[in-house]
Each structure stands twice: as structure tokens, then as C-alpha cells.
Amino acid sequence: MLAAAARGRPPAAIYSSEAVYEAERSRLFPRTWQFLAHESEIPAPGDFVVRRILDDSFIVARDDHGTVRVLLNVCLHRGMQVCRSELGNTSHFRCPYHNWTYRNTGELVGVPFHAEAYGGEAGLPKAERSLIRPRHESYRGMIFACLHPAAPSLADYLGDYRFFLDFYLHQSDSGAQFAGPQRWLIHSNWKIGAENFAGDSYHTPHTHASIVEIGLFREPRANKRKEGATYQVGPGGGTTYKLPAEDARQNLGYVGYPVEMIDRMQAAWTPGQLELAGRGRFMVSASTLFPNLSLVHNWPQVDADGLVVPFISVRLWQPAGPGETEVLSWFVVDSQAPDWFKAASYRAYLLCFGSSGMFEQDDVENWTSITSMSRGYLSSSVLLDSTMGLAAPPPPAPVAWPAPGTAHVGFGEYGQRAFLRRWAAYCAAGPGQPVAEPDQEARLCADPGSPGYRAVAG
Amino acid sequence: MEEQGRRLDVHEQHSVEQFLYDEAALLDRLRYRDWLGLLHADIRYRMPVRVSTARGRPDQLATMDHYDEDLYGLTKRVERLETDQAWTEEPPSRPRRFVTNVRGFWRSDGDLTVFSSLLLFRSRGDMREPEWVSAGRQDRLRPAGSGYLIACRDITVDESVLRTQNLALFI
């Protein structure tokens, strides 16, 4: 099953199988860096949010000294969930069961009748009962945790994918602010959304035909998609749109950024990033960081006068079982953006993505159906087809890729296959075994001499 | 407190209830274009995200909504549902809206503040479990002709994590 998936022919069962889910639960999720929260969600000392990694609950808090803490939300006494709010501000967390009380650093500071019940420190050393703190690291304010002590650092894990993350998160030196999340449960396997954002530019003109039809976008049907490139780099991959100008400032203006924001992007981005959006004419759109974090950037018309404003969303496909996913969807905007832009961009986000978003509505309808169909005796064994671009690649575009990773112009399921290869590598690695770095597809299939295929390494 | 002003008398109460029932009937029958006709040009249609927090703390996110729409946004959503390619409602769901607990008050500017409870039942396809959305609504109704226009709708949804695949249906 894993080998077939890695070749781009995943059996449908991977979207509902209990055994597959168990492998993901025990082998994949603990060994990958999992996004929990953005620092802008907990700006003040004492602020906290509660987030999950599958069935583990974590408190993400800013302590009284301003340090970000990630604490397993489980009392060391009887395993009670210590904090049962989704967010708030507090210096201490008190377990309701027996009043064990923890500082927001995780230290146990209060045990009722400590002397009488336990014989004091000799019987129960409080320092040995701090809330469990998993590894956590941040990138551009995004707080990630990793439950496996031997996994690589976040920086090593992200690698050159940071080049692409920065388009969403580093539009100025102050960085982004996150609002949300909207949360809702869908009857869908978590991978389907992740694969979609990792490279499915092919679905846009069809799944989202209604949005094209109502004129929410300027561009004619599918055109901006088929000229775009998809890219794969390390644990990430995504899609881009082709823009009209060979100048980054003009293209950023075309998608609706005001001059003052463009000035800040120009100062914040590297020459390579500016070249991708400039001479390369590619603007980032959907993207997935393996395994279950996706980002999206698009630019609808937000009023009857045709004002075009871009928005950014970050979303987590949080598994809640083999066929259930909780979606957590944030609106993201540069913290220095002018207020009018933040307001208009927020409206653009709500129209397109999130619990009421018109793109999201039709995506989830498809993903729910795929998950449901994958349960059949016969249908679970169907080898789905993610081979686009392997046999008959689309024509190459005469364009360099001034960015890390591998890129292809036009439709192709390169990103989905890269996702599945990585997914298979994690699921195959048993306890104590290292996760093999998945093969590069170029070694499997690329034919540099083919007139229809172009892979450019960064 | 929003429950200010004179409470509606029995005739006014009847007229407001009938308006809300008629609105629900239009939506249940998928007559979205007609529903748009009940909205004031300056409507604000908002559903903040609800959260679990300690008692006494705000239980809505200040900076995130499930909906925050003006007439443009609502019209675009209706136009989309009128295409035959809005897959999340093609084939359409079978919705039923239950409107109860209607309470109304006159505002000093001549509009009405109307509270109601809404339970939306959504049956979709043949094999899926039905979905429910429970919410409170605070409407600002503006008398217009023989009826009203909805000038503002604030929706207080009762789940922090929605158990519906999306909010394609209006609340």
C-alpha cells in the first residue's frame, strides 16, 4: 500500500483505514513538527491558548517573563485536563480534581496538604511533577512542537521551504498577525486537504467553477492556473499563479497590495524571493508543509466596484480519526498593514476560505465524498491516480525558477506525489527506525531530454 | 442591555414572527434571490466564533467570525448557489429552520431589536448523518412598507467547533 502510494497510485483505503491511521498516529505525527499557535495569539504575559496534536492537548502560554511555554495539558497527579478553556489569561493553572496548581511555566507550585498528605518535599518533590514540556521551536512567530526527542530541529525540518513560508509570514520585519481560528469538523481524511494544497492546481477551474462563474476574480477561467508552476522543496510544496508583469512591485500591486506594503516586502524579501515574484512572474497561492499545515494566498474582488484585495490563510488539518478532521483556519495579515487593508483582506478571506468560505465549501464536499467512498469493500482497493505529469508532461515554460526546490509549469501532480512519498517513508519507519529521506522524483521519472518536462533544481 | 425600549404588543409581535417565519420558509425552499429582497442595502450579517472560556470572560473571539458579510458578500454567495456548480449544495441539501423564542423591542430610532432562537436541520444526500446548527439571533429590523427589512443580524452560534461541513446555508 505504501509503495503504491509512493508511486502515485494510492489505494483509496489510505483515506479511511484504521490500520493506516494507527501508523500515522504512532509513526508520523509524533516525528513531525506540528503547528500549535502563532505568537500574536498570545501577545501579553499570561495569555494562553489550548491546542491539540491528535489526542494530546497542550497549553501554549506566554509566561510572566514573556517566554513562550508549551505544556502538556495533563495533571501529573491523576491525568485530568488541567486547563479546559480554549484561551484566556492566567498566571496559574489549577486542576479541578485535587487543586494541584501549576505556574504558567509548568512548575507545580501548589499541592493541598502537601506536608500532611505526602510528607512534604521528601514524599512528593514538586520539581519532579512539572507539567510535561515537549520540544518546541518557533519560525516567524509560528510555534511548533515535536513529540519525538530525536527528530531534527525545526530549522532543519523546514529547510528551504522557509523561502516559501516567508511570502506568507514575512511581509515586513514585524511579521504577521493571526486571527482565529475558525474550527469545524468535517467527515474527511486529513491527507486529502494537505495533498490538495500541496499541488492541485488542476481542480481549481472545475471544483471552483461556480466562483469563476460569479466573477469573484478578474482572471478568465483557469488561465492563471495552467500557466502557474507547482514546486516541491523538502517537506513542502505548493502552487503558484502566473502574473502579468516581470516586476515584483507591479505584480504585488496587481494582486492588491498597497505601495506601503510593497515597500516593506521589498525590504524584507531576499533577491531570490523578489525575482520569483518579479522576473519569474510567479505568485504563491496554495501550499502545504508536511504533514498537515496548509497556507493559501489569493486575491478576489471584495466589493461591487471591483476592488481586488489579497488575503492569506493558514490552516491545520487536525486528524480526529481516520475519516474525521477538525479544520482550524486562521486569517493572517502583516501586522504593519494599514487598517483598511486588514479589514478588506479579512472580508476577502471570509468570502473564500474558512467555515463559510466559498472555495472551502466545495473542497470539503469533494473530500467528504472521497473519504466516504474509500470505505467500500471494492472501492477501498481502487488505485487512485496521482500520476499526472509522469507519462505525458505538459509543455515546458521558458522560465527559470529562481527559488529552491523543483518546479514544473502547468498541471501536474508532482506535489501530491512528493507528499505521498514522504508520508510513506514516515509510515514505513517502525519504532527505533530512522525515517528515510524520500527519493526525489527526478530520479524516478525525470527525462531531462523530454521536450515536455522541465525540472530545475535550486 | 439590548432588551431596551417598549416591548412589542401582541399585533406587532405577530407581525414580526410572521416575517421571521416567512424568511425561514424562503430559505428552506432555497429561494435565495427572494431572501436577498428582505435585506437592507446596508446590512451587516455577522456570526462571531464562539469559544470556551472561564466564566465571566468573553466567549466570542473579537477578531474572528464565521460570517461578516455586507450585501455584496451575501449577493455573491447567492449568485453562487444559483449556479449549478456549487457542489456543496448540488444536489441541494434539505434544510429546515425552526424559529422560536421571538422577543422584540422598539428602538428609539424607529427600528426593532428582535431576538430569536434558530435550529437548522440539514439533511444531505442519502447516507450522511444530518447536521444541526443551533444559534441565537439578534436582528435589527427596519419597518418598510407593510413589512420589514433586516438591517443587521448578529448570530450567536452555540458550538465552538461547528459540526457542519460548512456554512453554505444562511442562518
Question: What is the number of helices (H) and of strands (E) in chain B?
Answer: 3, 6
Evaluate the omega torsion of the peptide bond into residue B91 and state whether it is cis, within 30 degrees of 0: yes
Sheet holding A56-62, edge to edge: A68-72, A56-62, A47-53, A87-89
Give yes or no for residue A85 having a pLDDT over 70.
Answer: yes
Q: Tell me the C-alpha distance between A310 and A196, whole Å.
A: 20
- Closest residue on chain B to A211 (Cα): B80
The DSSP result for B24-78, as a single string, is HHHHHTT-HHHHHTTEEEEEEEEEEEE----TTS--EEEEEEEEEE-HHHHHHHH
Largest CA distance in chain B: 50
Q: Are A356 and B168 in contact (CB < 8 Å)? A: yes
CB contact under 8 A, A372 and B127: yes
Angle at B21 between CA B17 and CA B23, to 5 degrees: 115
- Contacting residues of B for A308, CB less than 8 Å apart: none
What digits encode the pLDDT tens for the residues B110-152?
999 999 999 999 999 998 899 999 999 999 999 999 999 999 9
The span from the CA of A265 to the CA of A280, in Å, is 17
Kindly identify which residue of chain B lies nearest to residue A180, measuring between CA atoms.
Answer: B64
Number of Cβ atoms within 10 Å of the Cβ of B98: 11
pLDDT for res A220: 66
**What pLDDT, in 10s, does the model give residues A341-363?**
999 999 999 999 999 999 999 99
Of residues A184, A213, A368, nearest to B85 (C-beta):
A213
d(CA A66, CA B165) in angstroms, rounded, equals: 38
Residue B53: list chain A partners with CB under 8 A: 85-88
Residue A183: what are its φ and ψ, rounded to 5°? -130, 135
Other CB atoms within 10 A of residue A122 CB: 8
Residues of A in contact with B49 (CB under 8 A): 180-183
Of B76, B128, B161, which has the smallest distance from its Cβ to A351's Cβ?
Answer: B76
Q: Which of A84, A302, A362 sits opposite B88 (nearest CB)?
A: A362
Residue of A nearest to B167 (CA): A356
On whether the A34-139 domain is CATH 2.102.10.10, my answer is yes
Q: Where are the domains of chain A?
A: 34-139, 159-431
Q: Is A355 on the interface with B (CB under 8 A)?
A: yes
Q: Please tell me which residue of chain B has the smallest CA distance to A88.
A: B53
Boundaries of every domain in chain B: 10-157
Which one of A92, A358, A363 makes the best mutation probe of the B interface by having the most chain B beta carbons within 10 Å? A358
If one compares A376 and A389, the residue with the highest pLDDT of the two is: A376
- The reply to whether A159-431 shares the fold of A34-139 is no
Q: Cα separation of A360 and B80, whole Å?
A: 13
Residue B150 near residue B101 (C-beta atoms within 8 A): no
**Contact, A330 vs A181, CB < 8 A?**
yes
Question: In the prediction, which pLDDT does A205 show?
Answer: 87
Kindly determine whether residue A84 and residue B52, on different chains, have CB atoms separated by under 8 Å: yes
Cβ A358–B163 below 8 Å, yes or no?
no
> Cα–Cα distances in Å, from B27 out to A196, B130, B150, B171?
32, 17, 14, 9
CATH of B10-157, one of 1.10.10.10, 3.40.50.300, 3.10.450.50, 3.40.250.10: 3.10.450.50
Give A56-69 pLDDT, tens digit per residue. Answer: 999 999 999 999 99
Whether the CB of B61 is below 8 Å from some CB of chain A: the reply is yes
Amino acid at A336: Q
Q: What is the pLDDT of residue A452?
A: 34
Q: Do B166 and A372 touch (CB under 8 A)?
A: no
What does the angle CA A240 – CA A244 – CA A245 come to, to the nearest 5 degrees?
A: 105
Q: Say whether pLDDT at A335 is over 70.
A: yes
Query: Could you tell me if A450 lies within 8 Å of chain B, comparing CB atoms?
Result: no
Which residue spans within A171-310 are E strands per DSSP?
A: 176-186, 229-233, 236-242, 282-289, 293-298
Give the confidence band of A443 by pLDDT, cuts at 50, 70, 90. very low
Chains A–B, number of C-beta pairs less than 8 Å apart: 114
Tell me which CATH homologous superfamily contains domain A159-431. Answer: Naphthalene 1,2-dioxygenase Alpha Subunit; Chain A, domain 1 (3.90.380.10)
Alpha-carbon dihedral sign for residues A23, A26, A31, A32: positive
State whether residue B86 sits within 8 Å of chain A by CB. yes
In Å, what is the CA distance from A269 to each residue of A141, A394, B142? 17, 31, 50
- Provide the mean pLDDT of chain A: 93
Nearest CA in chain B to A360: B166
The pTM assigned to this predicted structure is 0.95
| Residue corresponding to grid cell 520540544 | A135
> What are A136-184's pLDDT values in tens digits?
999 999 999 999 998 999 999 999 999 999 999 999 999 999 999 999 9
How close does chain B come to A70, measured CA to CA in Å?
A: 19
What is the average pLDDT value for chain B, to the nearest integer? 96
Give, to the nearest 10 degrees, the angle between helix A190-199 and helix A414-428. 140
> ipTM, 2 decimals?
0.97
